[in-house]
A and B are shown apart, each in its own frame.
Chain A
Amino acid sequence: MERRLQQIFFALSFLALALIIAAGWQADTPKWKDYQKNYHALEAQGEPNAVAKATVIATRPEVHQVMLTGLQRVDRCTTCHLGVEDPTMKDAPEPFTYHAGLGPHVPSKFGCTICHGGQGLATDKDNAHGNVQFWQTPLLPKEYIRASCGRCHKEGDVPGVPELTEGKRLFNTQGCRGCHKLNGVGGSIGPDLTEEGAQHRSPEWLAQHFLTPNAVSAGSAMPNFHFTKEQAKALTYYMLSLTSEDMGSYYSSERSIPGPEYGRQLFAEKNCISCHAIGGEGSKTGPDLLGVVKRHSPEWLDEQLVNPELVYPGSAMPAYDLDPNSRKALLAYMAVATPEDAHLLLANQSRTLKPEEIAIEAGKQDFARFGCVGCHGTELQGGVPNPNAQGGEVPSLLHLSDDYTKDEVVAVIKEGRMPPLDNPKGPTPPLYMPSWKNLLSREDINRIVDYLWSKQQQKKADNW
C-alpha cells in the first residue's frame, strides 16, 4: 500500500508537469503568431536584399494594439490585420489587405471597432469578430458599416450616408418616441433606444423588425407602419448609430461646429419665422431676433433654446429638441441673419401664421415630436390594431370633443390610461396611453389639446 501510494504520488507529479506544459504550450501558440509569420514572409518578398529579408522574417511576434484614450477603447485588430496602413499590401489576401479610402480616419487614430464593430481587445478571430456569446457588437455586415458614421457625426447630414438622414427624419416624424425613449425623451411601451447601436441585434433583425414587427418578435406591441424596404434600411442605419458612448472631444463632431448654413436650415425647418422676426421681417408674436446675440450671452441663449420656461416663466415658446451643436449652429445663424434673408425665408413659407394659430402649430409640433402620431396617426385617424382593446384599435382623436372636456383630455395625457377591454377576461392589450406628466410641461399639454380641438370634426348624425 505504502509503495503503491508513493508510485501514485510520482505518477501525479508527472501528470502535473504534463498539464503545466500543455497549458503553457496552449498559451504560447495563439493563431495570431501564425498570421504574423505569414505576413512577414509576404513583406520579405518585397524586400530587395537577403539581409533585409532575413530581418523582416525574424521580427519577433507581438500583440499590436492601438490605444484610443479618447474613445476609451483598445483595438488589437492590427495584430492580425497587419497591412491596413501599408499601401503596398493593396492586393494582399485577408487578413493583410490594405484599407483604402479612409481619408482622415486612420487606424492609428481611430482604431477599427468604432466603425466595424467587433471586439477590439480580442486576439483570436471568433472573439475579435464578436461572433461569440456575450459580445454585443459583432462585426457589422459590409452594407451596414456606414451606419457607424452616425456615432460621431451626430448632427446634420453625413456626406455619403443619406440613409442616416432619412432614418432620423422617419424616426422624428413617424412617432417612434410615443413608445420608445431616446436620450431620456419618449414613452415607455417599447424598449429604450438610447443604446440600440450597442445592443446585440443583427442589422437583418432590425430591418425585418421594421417591415413586420411580429415576424421577428412574437407578440410585439409594435404596430406595422408599412415601411418600404428602403425606409426600413434607413431606420436600421439610424438604430445602429444610436449610442450614448462618449466619443471624447477629438472624435466627436462637436469639434467641427456646424456653420450658419446648418443654422439657417434649422431656422426654416423649425418654422421659427412664424413667431419671430428678423429686423421686422416675420411674425411679431415673439421678440425680434435681429442682433439677439449681442443682447444676450451665448449661455443665456443656449438655455433659452433648451428650456424657454426656465428663462421666461410662462413663455409661449416650445422647448425644441435640439442637440448642443444644432443650438450652436442656430446661434451662429442668428449672428449673420439679415432682414433680406428673413424675407427670403418668408417667401418660401406657404403662409404666415396668425397669433392664435401659433399655439396650435406648436401643439402640432409637440404631437409629432413626442411620438403621439405613432399610434394616433399623423391625421389623428388612429386605427393602429390593439387586440382586445375596445374597438380593437387605437381610437381616432377626431371626435374627442363629443365625449370629453379639455380638462379630461389633459388628465388622460398627464396620467396615462389603460384602454377599456373588449373582453374583460382576455389578455391585456399591448398598447396603452403612457403617462406624460414627467416629460411634458403643462404648457406643452395645453398646446397639444388646443391642437386636438382645432381638428375636431362634427359627429355625423346618422352615426347611430
Chain B
Amino acid sequence: MNIFQEIWKSIVRRDPLSTDKGKSELVFMNVWLHIHPAKVKKENMKFTHSFYLGFITFFLFIILVTTGIALMAYYRPYPPHAYQDMKDLQFVVFMGPFLRNMHRWAAHGMVICVFLHMCRVFYTGSYKKPRQFNWVIGVFLLLLTLGMSFTGYLMPWDQLAYWAITVGTNIGSYAPIVGGQLRELLLGGHTVGEAALLRFYVLHVALLPAVLILFTIVHFWRVRKDGGLSRPLWKLKKKTPPQLVTIGAPAEVAALQTVPASTTKTYGLMEVVTGKPIFETIAPEEADEEVFSYPYAFVREAVTLMATVTTIMTISLFFNAPLEELANPAKTPNPAKAPWYFLGLQELVSHSALLGGVVIPGLMVVALLLIPYIDRNPSRHLRDRKWALWIFTIFVVANLILIVIGTFFRGPGWALVPPWVHVTGGVE
C-alpha cells in the first residue's frame, strides 16, 4: 500500500459506497453527515410532504453566512462610513453589488421560508407528540430570524434603514413598564444613532447568529431524535405503530438477528448491517419503504441546495438591493415604514398602540409557543382538526392581509392609498 492510499485510508475509513455497510458508515462515521439517520423512510422524503422548506431555510442561512462574512470585509459600523461603504460596494468593489444583492434577497427569502416552514409543520400536524418541544424551538428560530433580518436592516444606514428601525423599535417601546428601557438598551440611546448602529452590528454579526446556530443544532438533533420527518398525511391511514428494528453485529462476529420491536421508541441509535439491503430485514408488516440516506436523501438535499443557490443568484443578477439616500434624522419620509414583515404590526399600531404594539403581538408569540400544548388532539388527520386549522388559517391570512395593506396600500400620513395611485409625499 503506497503512502497516498494510506493517507486516504486514514481520512476515509468507511467501506466502499457500493456496499450497504459503506453507505451506512458514510453517514454515521462522518461528523457532518451523522445528523442524518443511515436510512430514511422513502415516503417521508416526498417533496409534496415537506416541500423541503426546512432545508431551503438552512441553505439560505448558509448563503447569508458566507456572503455576510465577505461583506464584513468592506463594512465599518459607524454612521458616515457605513453608508460610504455601501456606495463602495456598489461602485468599486468587484462583484460587490452581486454579493450584497445575494445577502439581501437571501435574508428576505429566509424570513419567508421560515414562515412557510412553520405553516407546513402546522398543517401536517407535525408539532404533535413527540415533537412538541421542537415546535417551540422552531418558534424561537422564527423570532431569531426576524431579529437577524431586523438588525441587518439598519446596516446600510440609508433613509430606508434609519426610519424602518426608528419605527420598528418604537413599536417595541409600547410594551408596558419595560418597553422604553428595552428600546434604550437596544439602541444605546434615545434615538437611532451611532450607538444603535454599533449595537445592531454586534447583534447582527455575533450574538444573534451564534444563538441561531445553537438553536439550529438543537432543532436538527430533535428532528432526528423525534424519529425523523413526520409521516406524510397520506400514510396515516395505517394504524400499525412504528416499529423499531435493531440489527445485530456484522456477520463475521455474530449471526444477523432481528431484535423484537420496542413499542415506546421509534428507532435505534444506529444500524449495523451485513451485505444485504437493510429494508429486507425489516419485518414484512412494516410497510414503510426504507432506503439508505446515501444517495436517496443526499441527492435530494444537494438538488435543493443548488436550486436555492441558483435561485438567489439569478434574482441577484437582475434585481439590485435598495439603497436610498444617506440617513437624515431631520427628514422623515412620509410614510415611514418598518421592514415589511413588521408592517402588520405597524398597521395594528396605527389603530391602537397598546393593543397593536403589545397585546396582540405578545399573545401571538405566546400562542405560537403554546400551540403543541394547547392542541392536545392526538389526531393528525385534517378532518379531526377543523378548529385548529381554522384558527391558524385566520391567523396566517390576517397577518398577510395586514402586511399587504401596510406595504402597498398605505401612503403619506398612513392614509389608505391604492398602489396604482401616485401620490407625492410631504408638504412643500
Q: Do chains A and B touch in the complex (CB under 8 A)?
A: yes
Question: What distance in Å separates the Cβ of B223 from its nearest Cβ neighbour in chain A?
Answer: 22
Q: Which residue of A lies closest to B302 (CB)?
A: A9
Q: Are the C-beta atoms of A16 and B91 separated by less than 8 Å? A: no
Given A6-B299, A27-B94, A123-B91, A74:B325 Cβ within 8 A: no
Mask for A123-135, Cβ within 8 A of B = 1, else 0? 1100100000011
B313 contacts which of A23, A124, A135, A191 (Cβ < 8 Å)?
Answer: A23
In the bound complex, CA of A57 to CA of B397 (Å): 63
Question: What distance in Å separates the Cβ of A373 from its nearest Cβ neighbour in chain B?
Answer: 22
- Residues of chain A within 8 A (CB-CB) of B299 are 2, 5-6, 9
Question: What distance in Å separates the Cβ of B325 from its nearest Cβ neighbour in chain A?
Answer: 5
- Residues of chain B within 8 A (CB-CB) of A24 are 94-95
Kindly state whether residue B92 has any CB partner on chain A within 8 Å: yes
Kindly state whether residue A299 has any CB partner on chain B within 8 Å: no
Given A23-B316, A123-B91, A134:B324 Cβ within 8 A: yes
B91 contacts which of A23, A122, A191 (Cβ < 8 Å)?
Answer: A122
Kindly state whether residue B317 has any CB partner on chain A within 8 Å: yes
In the bound complex, CA of A19 to CA of B310 (Å): 8
Question: What distance in Å separates the Cβ of B273 from its nearest Cβ neighbour in chain A?
Answer: 20
- Residues of chain A within 8 A (CB-CB) of B90 are 122, 127
Kindly state whether residue A20 has any CB partner on chain B within 8 Å: yes
Q: Are the C-beta atoms of B303 and A28 separated by less than 8 Å? A: no
In the bound complex, CA of A166 to CA of B158 (Å): 36
Mask for B289-327, Cβ within 8 A of A = 1, else 0? 000000110011011001101100110110000011100
Q: Which residue of A lies closest to B160 (CB)?
A: A134
Kindly state whether residue A106 has any CB partner on chain B within 8 Å: no
- Residues of chain B within 8 A (CB-CB) of A121 are 84, 87-88, 91
Given A121-B84, A121-B88, A26:B317 Cβ within 8 A: yes
In the bound complex, CA of A19 to CA of B95 (Å): 12
Given A123-B92, A134-B324, A220-B428, A74:B84 Cβ within 8 A: yes
Kindly state whether residue A183 has any CB partner on chain B within 8 Å: no
In the bound complex, CA of A191 to CA of B309 (Å): 48
In the bound complex, CA of A216 to CA of B90 (Å): 34
Q: Are the C-beta atoms of A23 and B84 separated by less than 8 Å? A: no
Kindly state whether residue A69 has any CB partner on chain B within 8 Å: no
Q: Are the C-beta atoms of A23 and B317 separated by less than 8 Å? A: yes
Kindly state whether residue B157 has any CB partner on chain A within 8 Å: no
- Residues of chain B within 8 A (CB-CB) of A26 are 98, 317
Q: Which residue of B lies closest to A123 (CB)?
A: B91
Question: What distance in Å separates the Cβ of A299 from its nearest Cβ neighbour in chain B?
Answer: 31
Which parts of B252-309 form the interface with A (CB within 8 Å)? 295-296, 299-300, 302-303, 306-307, 309
Kindly state whether residue A439 has any CB partner on chain B within 8 Å: no
Kindly state whether residue B329 has any CB partner on chain A within 8 Å: no
Q: Are the C-beta atoms of B303 and A9 separated by less than 8 Å? A: yes
Question: What distance in Å separates the Cβ of A434 from its nearest Cβ neighbour in chain B?
Answer: 16
Q: Are the C-beta atoms of B98 and A23 separated by less than 8 Å? A: yes
- Residues of chain B within 8 A (CB-CB) of A20 are 313
- Residues of chain A within 8 A (CB-CB) of B325 are 134-136
Kindly state whether residue A418 has any CB partner on chain B within 8 Å: no
- For chain B, the bracket of interface size reads 20 to 34
Which parts of B157-189 form the interface with A (CB within 8 Å)? 158-159
Given A63-B92, A127-B91, A5:B317 Cβ within 8 A: no
Which parts of A1-29 form the interface with B (CB within 8 Å)? 2, 5-6, 8-9, 12-13, 15-16, 19-20, 22-24, 26-28
Question: What distance in Å separates the Cβ of A40 from its nearest Cβ neighbour in chain B?
Answer: 20
- Residues of chain A within 8 A (CB-CB) of B303 are 5, 8-9, 12
Question: What distance in Å separates the Cβ of A91 from its nearest Cβ neighbour in chain B?
Answer: 30
Q: Are the C-beta atoms of B87 and A9 separated by less than 8 Å? A: no
- For chain A, the bracket of interface size reads 35 or more
In the bound complex, CA of A8 to CA of B306 (Å): 9
Q: Which residue of B lies closest to A209 (CB)?
A: B428
Kindly state whether residue A76 has any CB partner on chain B within 8 Å: yes
Kindly state whether residue B413 has any CB partner on chain A within 8 Å: no
- Residues of chain A within 8 A (CB-CB) of B158 are 134
User: Which of B302, B314, B324 is the most central at the interface, judged by chain A CB atoms within 10 Å of its CB?
Assistant: B302
- Residues of chain A within 8 A (CB-CB) of B80 are 72
Q: Are the C-beta atoms of B316 and A15 separated by less than 8 Å? A: no
Q: Are the C-beta atoms of A2 and B428 separated by less than 8 Å? A: no
In the bound complex, CA of A123 to CA of B307 (Å): 33
In the bound complex, CA of A121 to CA of B90 (Å): 9
In the bound complex, CA of A23 to CA of B300 (Å): 27
A16 contacts which of B94, B97, B98, B313 (Cβ < 8 Å)?
Answer: B313
Question: What distance in Å separates the Cβ of A224 from its nearest Cβ neighbour in chain B?
Answer: 15
Q: Which residue of B lies closest to A192 (CB)?
A: B330
- Residues of chain B within 8 A (CB-CB) of A217 are 428
- Residues of chain A within 8 A (CB-CB) of B300 are 5
Question: What distance in Å separates the Cβ of B329 from its nearest Cβ neighbour in chain A?
Answer: 12
In the bound complex, CA of A121 to CA of B83 (Å): 11
B306 contacts which of A12, A63, A127, A195 (Cβ < 8 Å)?
Answer: A12
- Residues of chain A within 8 A (CB-CB) of B428 are 191, 216-217, 220
In the bound complex, CA of A216 to CA of B299 (Å): 63
Q: Are the C-beta atoms of B306 and A28 separated by less than 8 Å? A: no
In the bound complex, CA of A24 to CA of B316 (Å): 12
In the bound complex, CA of A220 to CA of B87 (Å): 35
Mask for B64-85, Cβ within 8 A of A = 1, else 0? 0000000000000000100010
Q: Are the C-beta atoms of B310 and A12 separated by less than 8 Å? A: yes
Question: What distance in Å separates the Cβ of B48 from its nearest Cβ neighbour in chain A?
Answer: 13
Q: Are the C-beta atoms of A76 and B91 separated by less than 8 Å? A: yes
Given A2-B295, A135-B325, A217-B428, A15:B98 Cβ within 8 A: no
In the bound complex, CA of A12 to CA of B306 (Å): 6
Q: Which residue of B lies closest to A190 (CB)?
A: B428
Question: What distance in Å separates the Cβ of B349 from its nearest Cβ neighbour in chain A?
Answer: 27
- Residues of chain B within 8 A (CB-CB) of A16 are 306, 309-310, 313
Q: Which residue of B lies closest to A20 (CB)?
A: B313
- Residues of chain B within 8 A (CB-CB) of A72 are 80
Question: What distance in Å separates the Cβ of B194 from its nearest Cβ neighbour in chain A?
Answer: 16
Which parts of A70-129 form the interface with B (CB within 8 Å)? 72, 74, 76, 119, 121-124, 127
- Residues of chain A within 8 A (CB-CB) of B330 are 192, 195
Mask for A369-388, Cβ within 8 A of B = 1, else 0? 00000000000000000000
Question: Which 4 A/B pairs are nearest by Cβ-Cβ distance?
Answer: A217-B428, A12-B306, A121-B87, A19-B313
**5 additional contacts (CB under 8 A) given A5-B303, A192-B330:** A2-B295, A5-B300, A119-B87, A127-B91, A134-B325
A-B contacts, 13 of them at CB < 8 A, read: A15-B310, A16-B309, A19-B313, A19-B314, A27-B94, A27-B96, A28-B94, A123-B92, A124-B91, A127-B91, A135-B325, A192-B330, A216-B428
Interface residues of B (CB under 8 A from A): 80, 84, 87-88, 90-92, 94-98, 158-159, 295-296, 299-300, 302-303, 306-307, 309-310, 313-314, 316-317, 323-325, 330, 428
